Structure 1
Amino acid sequence: MLFRRRKQANILERISIWLWPRRSFFRSFRYMSKRVLRIPATPHAVALGLSVGIFSAFTPLYGLHITVAITVGWVFSANIAAAAIGTAFANPLTIPLIFTATYTLGRLILNIDQHFVSISEFLELLNNWNFAGLWLVFLQLSIGSIILGSIAAVLAYMLAFKATKRFHNKRNAKFAMQIGSGQKLKNVKNAKTSNGCLPWL
């Protein structure tokens, strides 16, 4: 294939590109959107898979988002590819925002008397395996992620279902037009042949 990479990227390179694209995040978003629309599945399966992936991106299970999305997507018969793509919602640009929003909401709901834990402090707790201080932060993150993740998942489903259905309708109409044009040309050739004309005239 022309312009194909001589050396294929390994799994680590693919993950790094997934988390931090070599191109701009906007171009990567457009590329992912086109890939979602072209997935050969029903609009419901695609939209459900994408919403499952986005929901898992809100959870504090960092490093396991794809595993969670694929598992939940399989349970609910969602499209697995769309679920995996949806996890890209959690990236270096959005993770700080997601962490802050989910943690703040969880603190407000649980009303726990604890100082605000920053991302760096959270990572330090993980690195030191400080489960005594980690479980409380994780609980607040989980509560906030369930609420915000559910809202984002519902919105993603509605938008993805509408966009995918529109894309499929346009593509089916285009195919029908091409088939109709081919059938019309075939009828013209058959008519000329029956009138004594050569079929290629």
Structure 2
Amino acid sequence: MVFKRREKRPLWQVVFEFFWPRGGWTRAAQYVRHRLHRLPDTPEKIARGIFAGVFTTFTPFYGLHFLTAAIIAFVMRGNVLAALLATFFGNPLTYVPIGVISMRMGYFLLGTPAHSDDHIARSLGGKFMDAGEALKHNFMAMFTDATVDWHSLKIFYDEVFFPYLIGGIIPGLVAATICYIISVPLIRAYQKRRSGVIKAKLAALKAKAKRSAEARQKTD
């Protein structure tokens, strides 16, 4: 295959680059920003896609953020690619504070006694992994003699997923709205400047072609 890596990366490198991409998160953020600015669409439509992507990072649908962002962007008539790129607002450096904020808000709205931030941060990833293992076990149980057990998943739903889902709505809307408001003028200014640069280059090429044609006419 043309785009296949010549050398397969070892597992430790894949894991390390997930948490710290090559060039660092600053470079990764600059790349995402560059791609967003160059999308061939109106600033408002791109910004609606950004809104969808950022809002999605405040939902507990881990593993389905791309799909969720694409659906929301489609419903909002936003740019789907912008939504996919904007999901990088959620990354290994921000998922913990996003999760803590969303769950604490969920506990507050539902009137549920909340744990400390440290307890939530320490247990959040583990509870999602445990839920994934439980889902895998129950799925395999359909084809084996293993016993299906939904008790642990019910606890996960009541203590983590539902509070996260409800609590992420308000901070998600706030963060997404701020990103939308900031994105529209920035993208418009970038597109205007880029359009001016392209027009200047085209004008220079036309002037050069005209000079070449006049020079040939004089020679003839």
Change (3 A) 1:114 1:104: closer
Please show how residues 163-178 of structure 1 align to structure 2 within 5 Å: 163-178=186-201
Q: Deviations over 1:74-124 (max 9, x none)?
A: 222211111111111121111111110110111112211364553145236
Change (3 A) 1:133 1:125: farther
- Residue 145 of structure 1 corresponds to 168
How far apart are the structure 2 equivalents of 1:31 and 1:123? 30
Question: What TM-score, normalized by structure 1, do the two folds share?
Answer: 0.80
Q: Is the 8 A contact 2:48 2:78 kept in 1?
A: yes
CA offset at residue 39 of structure 1? Answer: 1.3
CA offset at residue 50 of structure 1? Answer: 1.4
Provide the secondary structure at the position in 1 that maps to 2:41. coil
How far apart are the structure 2 equivalents of 1:25 and 1:150? 24
Q: Deviations over 1:142-179 (max 9, x none)?
A: 12211011011111112221211111100111122223
Q: Is the 8 A contact 2:53 2:83 kept in 1?
A: yes
Moved more, 151-160 or 110-119: 110-119
Q: Is the 8 A contact 1:18 1:88 kept in 2?
A: no
Please show how residues 1-201 of structure 1 align to structure 2 within 5 Å: 7=6, 20-113=20-113, 115=115, 117=120, 118-120=123-125, 122-123=127-128, 125-126=130-131, 127-128=133-134, 130-136=152-158, 137-185=160-208, 197-198=218-219
Q: Is the 8 A contact 1:19 1:88 kept in 2?
A: no
Provide the secondary structure at the position in 1 that maps to 2:168. helix
Task: Among all aligned residue pairs of Structure 1 and Structure 2, give the percentage whose two residues are the same amino acid.
Answer: 26
Change (3 A) 1:8 1:57: farther
Provide the secondary structure at the position in 1 that maps to 2:169. helix
How far apart are the structure 2 equivalents of 1:172 and 1:56? 31
Moved more, 165-174 or 122-131: 122-131
Count of matched residue positions in the alignment of Structure 1 and Structure 2: 191
How far apart are the structure 1 equivalents of 2:167 and 2:129? 21
How far apart are the structure 1 equivalents of 2:130 and 2:5? 42
Question: What TM-score, normalized by structure 2, do the two folds share?
Answer: 0.74
CA RMSD of aligned residues (A): 2.9
How far apart are the structure 1 equivalents of 2:5 and 2:125? 39
Q: Deviations over 1:40-71 (max 9, x none)?
A: 22111211111101111110111110110111
Gaps of 5+ in 1: none
Gaps of 5+ in 2: 135-149
